A and B are shown apart, each in its own frame.
Chain A
């Protein structure tokens, strides 16, 4: 076979391997990762290639995360954030460190964003998009915002965390998957 053809086969293999690996990685996180509830608020932007999604703005993003003693961290560094649970059962980022934690401790690998005067950092959680159809994305946004104006709301993303990586399993309102919630809302109208 000519070298061009061999290289072409190699290219095809790589082109298939990239999405293949992405699928493998996501499934691994979803099956083996620990589930956490991240309190969130969705808003609805648009991506030309991947379509509609809602950006999730997390409560954990707004909190300053302290730095572990002895860790040297600066703005826009990639660090490890240890994940824990608060009294109400929602996920919190407990502390930032530059040393990779042990495997029995859940952590997220993320980028620090902005340093605060007390030495802690604001970080941004990377799993901030939830893709939805053209039809549903604006509904998700309006449903959540409307709820938050009148009564008690409980909007959170169910996120699986595995070896530093997190992936969204489902977006929930009052312990109900968002799609079901929207369907019920439609029926009530």
Chain B
């Protein structure tokens, strides 16, 4: 069996504790050795021991690379075409030589590999930029960035540097924000690499990259169909479905244990998306206009986003089937929002009235937020409790200021829900007291 990775602190804690157990006769010495063999710090050592120096090297390489770009951008027009052509190829050749030396002769030096990869990444850009400048080649920023990206992604696979991974992720993010094209598909090219990181348990880098992937993809998907597209009005439901997919994917990948907000990017982003979009849907207006615009032309992008929607729905169903037994009530509370997304899309054709849809969304947020609060209390997880509370408070705030509902109705509903809260609280306290006194009687 492959040993599990842990940090040095965790390992030394385990060593001292298990040493105590041996002394106290709970386990034997060979059992202690067996247990300790199940945990290794090798990957983590190789990654973390040089973590700070790695960071410095990456930053250094990025600064040098940026410096080269700036020197190029200055435009040395007095040099003449020939000199400038030689100059534009030169940094590329130097960086390639360094990369070759690192991969061929010193593959064990992580720092050198980081520096070589990052420099090579910048050198490719610098050479293209300088040639473009010398010859006044038009070609917009978009084409330049795409060429850079396509030449840069192989560097990641062949040299494998953390700096290049982050730079590539950032470059794709930039493209996603620049143009209404489905540039987020480039993130798929990173999937094998990210999977490798996951397998090697290099989680810090993995999580960083995932945040980029999530932000870039989501932004790109919104941007690409937010205007002049036939599925423009479905965007909010597609995003809701995508959020549910993110949430499920996170639980699938990282397991059901809590990893904190930054530790599980998919679930955190998904939960955030579900909470905010469901709150938006509690308002009037979104649903009313949520039909397809049959006059606009469907292009590749629109089909792609519809495919994303279909995959989100199917993958969530798959997740529910596979993990049915492990799903807790708070997970159900979030995943059921997928029904709101589906209803939003099919609601108009099946003639579901707006009032019904809005009532359903309001009820959903009310119930789901209360469920999450109660789970936070039961499991003693403060973050869960606060999240539920925040979600609930926003719903209350929105409805209090909602001018479309008559004051009297609002008043009655508020008083009713408030009394329900107080009632449940009093009942719960009494139950607690009864349980305590019952326990005391038993003890006596």
Residues of A within 8 A of B (CB): 4-5, 7-8, 11-12, 14-16, 18-20, 22-23, 26, 30, 47-53, 126-134, 136, 167-168, 179
Q: Are B73 and A14 in contact (CB under 8 A)?
A: no
The one of A8, A15, A52 in contact with B75, judged by C-beta atoms closer than 8 angstroms, is A52
Q: Are B69 and A49 in contact (CB under 8 A)?
A: yes
The one of A14, A22, A130 in contact with B131, judged by C-beta atoms closer than 8 angstroms, is A22
**B147 on interface, CB distance cutoff 8 Å:** yes
Q: Are B74 and A51 in contact (CB under 8 A)?
A: yes
CB distance from A77 to the nearest CB of B (A): 14
Q: Which 3 A-B pairs have the closest CB atoms?
A: A51-B73, A26-B135, A133-B75
Q: Are A11 and B136 in contact (CB under 8 A)?
A: no
Q: Which residues of B contact A12 (CB under 8 A)?
A: 96, 99-100
CB distance from A149 to the nearest CB of B (A): 26
**B60 on interface, CB distance cutoff 8 Å:** no
CB distance from A179 to the nearest CB of B (A): 7
Q: Are B88 and A19 in contact (CB under 8 A)?
A: yes
**B172 on interface, CB distance cutoff 8 Å:** no
The one of A19, A47, A48, A130 in contact with B136, judged by C-beta atoms closer than 8 angstroms, is A130
CB distance from B144 to the nearest CB of A (A): 7
Interface locus among B3-11, B22-30, B121-129:
B121-129
**B141 on interface, CB distance cutoff 8 Å:** yes
Instruction: Determine which residue in A22, A23, A133, A179 has the highest number of CB atoms from chain B within 10 A of its CB, and name it.
Output: A22
Chain A: CB-nearest residue to B75: A133
CB distance from A137 to the nearest CB of B (A): 8
Give complex CA distance A127, B154 in Å: 31
CB distance from B76 to the nearest CB of A (A): 7
Given the known interface contacts A15-B151, A16-B92, A19-B88, the answer about A51 and B72 at a Cβ–Cβ threshold of 8 Å is yes
Given the known interface contacts A11-B155, A179-B77, the answer about A50 and B135 at a Cβ–Cβ threshold of 8 Å is no
Q: Are B151 and A48 in contact (CB under 8 A)?
A: no
Q: Which residues of B contact A11 (CB under 8 A)?
A: 151, 154-155, 158
Q: Are A15 and B92 in contact (CB under 8 A)?
A: yes
**B401 on interface, CB distance cutoff 8 Å:** no
**B132 on interface, CB distance cutoff 8 Å:** yes
Chain B 139-155 interface residues, beta-carbon cutoff 8 Å to A:
141, 144, 147, 151, 154-155
**B205 on interface, CB distance cutoff 8 Å:** no
Q: Are A19 and B69 in contact (CB under 8 A)?
A: no
Q: Are A131 and B75 in contact (CB under 8 A)?
A: yes
Q: List 21 A-B pairs, Cβ < 8 Å.
A: A8-B99, A8-B100, A8-B103, A8-B158, A15-B96, A15-B127, A18-B128, A22-B135, A47-B73, A49-B129, A50-B129, A50-B130, A51-B73, A52-B75, A127-B136, A128-B138, A130-B136, A132-B77, A133-B76, A167-B135, A168-B136
Q: Are B138 and A131 in contact (CB under 8 A)?
A: no
CB distance from A135 to the nearest CB of B (A): 9
Q: Are B92 and A19 in contact (CB under 8 A)?
A: yes
Other than the given A4-B103, A16-B96, A167-B136, 15 more pairs (CB < 8 A) read A5-B104, A7-B154, A8-B99, A14-B151, A15-B124, A18-B147, A19-B89, A22-B132, A50-B130, A127-B136, A131-B75, A131-B134, A134-B75, A167-B135, A168-B136
CB distance from A181 to the nearest CB of B (A): 14
**B137 on interface, CB distance cutoff 8 Å:** yes
Q: Are A50 and B132 in contact (CB under 8 A)?
A: yes
Q: Which residues of A contact B73 (CB under 8 A)?
A: 47-52
CB distance from B74 to the nearest CB of A (A): 6
